């Protein structure tokens, strides 16, 4: 099955929570800044308020980025709206991100159980299935969202299926696991403790199984260059400015959709 989310030829540059050197992550200002640099792929997270509104927000609590406020899940949208990320920026809803940057493709990490159903509802409402990669460390949350969708959307494996793929890819089972777990992509750190995950052989095995490999979170240009040389399909970075420079030097920036995907 073809997933239009992947229509841009790799490697993909993914701006982690948008781009803000001032710490205004997951705000419309940060997302627009990344788009202005040429990023067509934005990484974000979603959490649900007490009254069921899906936010583009990473942490369980407002405190780190807004200075105070407490757990997101105990607050209404009205209460969340009083907070300011970095002292200046309002926390956007996921629907605002989806509609205000209509050309962006979104890597969406589902952070709570309620968010799985609400994400599916919003993707159906806006017919945004082709624009989103559904991800979560929890395969349960990820699959719960995928099962609710009226049409299929691309997905990246959660932690359990990722671990199984890393262990069983040498046995040629990566493709079987991907079909079972309904994912087309693995998003992994280069290392997990002493274990080096991303090697040329691992990337090749994933490619043979039809899986893309995206590496997070890569902020050093030398690491970006080295990983791209290994053949990875995407890099997730806080330093969208540096990643854009690296990809530009390679002649693959700004990100373009493939000719066959254009109307």
Would you say 31 and 37 are in contact if contact means Cβ atoms under 8 Å apart? no
Catalytic residue among 16, 129, 207, 214: 16
SS3 at position 120: helix
Catalytic residue among 58, 126, 129, 214: 58
Q: How far apart are CA 48 and CA 20, in angstroms?
A: 23
Rounded to a whole number of angstroms, the CA Rg of the chain reads: 18
DSSP state of 156: B
Q: How far apart are CA 255 and CA 263, in angstroms?
A: 17
Instruction: Tell me whether residue 214 is one of the annotated catalytic residues.
Output: no
Residue among 46, 3, 2, 42 nearest 19 (CA): 42
Q: How far apart are CA 206 and CA 10, in angstroms?
A: 14
Instruction: Tell me whether residue 207 is one of the annotated catalytic residues.
Output: no
In total, the chain counts a number of residues equal to 263
Residue among 1, 4, 11, 8 nearest 231 (CA): 11
Encoding tokens for residue 71?
């757990």
Backbone phi, psi, residue 170, to 5° = -60, -20
Pairing of strands 234-237, 212-215: parallel
Which active-site residues does the annotation give? 16, 58
């Amino acid at each position: 099955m073809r997933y239009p989310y992947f229509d841009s030829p790799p490697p993909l540059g993914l701006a982690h929570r948008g781009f803000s050197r001032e710490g205004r992550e997951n705000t419309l200002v940060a997302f627009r800044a990344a788009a202005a640099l040429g990023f067509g792929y934005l990484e974000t997270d979603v959490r649900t308020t007490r009254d069921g509104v899906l936010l583009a927000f990473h942490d369980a609590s407002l405190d780190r980025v807004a200075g105070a406020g407490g757990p997101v899940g105990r607050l209404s949208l009205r209460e969340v709206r009083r907070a300011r990320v970095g002292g200046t920026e309002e926390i956007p809803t996921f629907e605002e991100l989806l509609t205000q940057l209509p050309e962006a493709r979104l890597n969406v990490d589902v952070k709570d159980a309620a968010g799985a159903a609400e994400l599916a509802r919003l993707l159906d409402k806006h017919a945004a299935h082709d624009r989103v990669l559904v991800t979560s460390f929890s395969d349960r949350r990820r699959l719960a969202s995928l099962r609710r969708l009226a049409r299929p959307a691309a997905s990246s494996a959660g932690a359990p299926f990722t671990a199984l793929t890393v262990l069983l890819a040498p046995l040629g089972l990566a493709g079987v696991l991907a079909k079972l777990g309904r994912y087309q992509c693995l998003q992994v750190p280069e290392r997990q403790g002493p274990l080096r995950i991303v090697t040329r052989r691992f990337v090749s095995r994933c490619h043979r199984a039809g899986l893309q490999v995206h590496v997070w979170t890569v902020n050093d240009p030398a690491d970006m260059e080295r990983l791209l040389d290994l053949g990875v399909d995407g890099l997730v970075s806080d330093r969208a400015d540096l990643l854009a420079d690296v990809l530009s030097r390679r002649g693959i920036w700004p990100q373009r959709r493939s000719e066959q995907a254009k109307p």
